Amino acid sequence: MSQAAAHNVFVYGSLLADDVVRVLLNRVPPSSVAVLNNFHRFSIKGRVYPAIVPVQNSHVTGRVLLGLTDPELLILDEFEDVEYQRTSVEVSLQENSDKLQAHAYVWSNTSDPNLYGEWDFEEWKQLHKESFTKMTMGFMEELELPDAKPRVAENCGNDIT
């Protein structure tokens, strides 16, 4: 039997929080601090999570989740908004400067007027992590619903005659 492909994913926003990753993947994969060159991490007006877009002479520090399975990558694809494009990027590991190929979720609209400033993970942790983690739990419950039995079936047989 062939081994499932292992994917590396560069994360730079809410997925820097182990709690959020654990809710999505049911585990926290090994990771390394990494830098993505020629990108900038912006805040998005009206949202609590960031976006990255290509910007020359800029860089984003995040981490690379290592060894994700195909099903885990599909969960992240579903979790990331449709406005993100999964893109193959090269990151530099901070500990040894090794280069590594990874997926990153890049904001599709590079000239989006809602992008501004610099997103701050520490501020996000204090203000939004708890509610975002709860929202993520709700997302996972909805994602799992198609495999569950239909809600209608649960009420069958309860008619009062």
Domain ranges of the chain: 7-146
Residue 151: what pLDDT?
46
List 72, 78, 80, 130, catalytic entry: 80
Distance of CA 2 to the CA centre of its chain: 27
Q: How far apart are CA 90 and CA 109, in angstroms?
A: 21
Q: What is the DSSP letter of 147?
A: G
Distance of CA 128 to the CA centre of its chain: 15
Residue 17 CA to residue 3 CA, distance in Å, equals 28
CATH code: domain 7-146 is 3.10.490.10
Q: Which residue bears the tokens 């492909």?
A: 5
Answer whether residue 82 shows pLDDT above 60.
yes
Give me the pLDDT at residue 138, please: 95
The predicted-structure confidence for 95-146, as pLDDT tens digits, reads as follows 898 999 999 999 999 999 999 999 999 999 999 999 999 999 999 999 887 6
Tell me how far apart the alpha carbons of residues 151 and 127 are, in angstroms, rounded to a whole number. 35
Look up residue 115 and give its DSSP letter.
E
Q: Which residue has the tokens 């990151």?
A: 91
Per-residue b/e over 86-111, b at no fewer than 16 CB within 10 Å?
A: eeebebbeeeeeeeeebbbbbbeeee
Q: Residue 156 — very low, low, confident or very high, per pLDDT cuts 50/70/90?
A: very low
Q: What's the token pair of residue 41?
A: 């991490």
Interval 59-73 mean pLDDT:
97
What CA–CA distance (Å, rounded) separates 27 from 24?
8
Query: Span 51-56, mean pLDDT?
Result: 97
Residue closest to 76 by CA, chosen among 8, 128, 127, 129: 8
- Give the per-residue pLDDT at 131: 97
Tokens standing for 143? Answer: 């994602």
Question: In whole angstroms, what is the distance from residue 27 CA to residue 12 CA?
Answer: 18
Q: Is 144 a catalytic residue?
A: no
Average pLDDT over residues 78-84: 92
- At 157 the pLDDT is 43
